[in-house]
């Protein structure tokens, strides 16, 4: 039954949104829609939320991957947004191709869940999310240099911190402590 609903949603996507965008199905028949840039991605998400048959209301995952081999077109990174509907249980994968220094729009205004996910993408790939309330590293240390999931980052690279390296806590402390 879910398969039928998903297939219907795929048709809707293809007929309504795919005319000037790339559209394909993945190996399990879930739709992949390529947005024309970050602004278009936000626009599409709004459309999906209001659409009577899609009813997208849940951000399942937000991630990215490196496109150094240019197999997905001229662009450095691909941001992947996994959307789910908690009412119809259809999935939509929205992809945005970014140039090397292009900024992505934040989704935190739509889903607060995007906050940490975007921080992780920033941490791992160095993609800037415009409008993000607190864009800093999350898994790696504040003192770390480089973005480890980029393909040019060697996986055996070590980056030891000396104990004397100052941690910049100016953004993470709050209240009275910053005036001491």
Partner 1 sequence: MNNLNDNFPSDYVDLTDKIDQTKQGNDFYNPNVLINLGPSHPAMHGTLRVMCRVNGETIEDAKCEIGYLHRAIEKLGEVKTYHQWIVYTDRLNYCSALNNNVAYVMAVENVMNITVTERCMWIRVICMELARIIDHIICVAINALDMGAMTVFWLFYHWREEAYTMIESMCGMRLTTSYARIGGMMYDFPDDLIPRLKKFVENFPKAIDEIEGLLTSNRIWIDRTKGVGKLSAAEAIKYGLTGPCLRASGVNVDLRRDRPYYTYSELDFDVVVASGGDVYDRYLVRMEEIRQSVRILKQCILRLPNGPLWVDDKRVRIPDKIDVYTKMEVLIHHFKIFMEGINVPPGEAYTCVEGPNGELGFYIVSRGGPKAWRMRVKSPSFMLFQHFEKSILKEKIPDAVSILGSVNVIAGELDR
The footprint of partner 1 (CB under 8 A) covers 2, 26-28, 30, 32, 57-61, 63, 65-66, 69, 71, 80, 82, 86, 89, 91, 93, 111-113, 115-117, 120, 124, 137-141, 148-149, 155, 172, 174-177, 179
CB 10 within 8 A of CB 16: no
Q: Is the Cβ of residue 3 or residue 166 nearer to partner 1 in the bound state?
A: 3
3-state secondary structure 15-68: HHCCCCCCEEECCCCCEEEEECCHHHHHHHHHHHHHCCCCCCCEEEEEEEEECC
Q: Is the Cβ of residue 71 or residue 145 nearer to partner 1 in the bound state?
A: 71
Round to whole Å and give the CA distance between 85 and 128: 27
Q: How far is the CB of 156 from partner 1 (least distance, A)?
A: 9
Q: Is the Cβ of residue 59 or residue 97 nearer to partner 1 in the bound state?
A: 59
């Amino acid at each position: 039954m879910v398969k039928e609903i998903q297939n219907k949603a795929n048709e809707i996507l293809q007929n309504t949104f795919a005319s000037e965008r790339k559209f394909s199905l993945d190996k399990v028949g879930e739709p992949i829609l390529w947005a024309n840039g970050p602004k278009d991605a936000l626009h599409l998400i709004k459309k999906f939320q209001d659409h009577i048959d899609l009813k997208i209301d849940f951000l399942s995952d937000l991630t990215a991957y490196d496109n150094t081999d240019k197999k997905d077109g001229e662009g450095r990174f691909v941001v992947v947004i996994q959307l789910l509907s908690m009412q119809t249980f259809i999935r939509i994968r929205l992809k945005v191709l970014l140039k090397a220094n292009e900024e992505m729009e934040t989704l935190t205004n739509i889903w607060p869940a995007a906050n940490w996910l975007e921080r992780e993408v920033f941490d791992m790939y160095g993609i800037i999310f415009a409008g993000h309330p607190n864009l800093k590293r999350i898994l790696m240390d504040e003192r770390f240099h480089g973005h480890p999931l980029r393909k040019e980052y060697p996986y055996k690279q070590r980056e030891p911190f000396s104990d004397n390296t100052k941690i910049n806590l100016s953004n993470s402390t709050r209240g009275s402590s910053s005036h001491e």
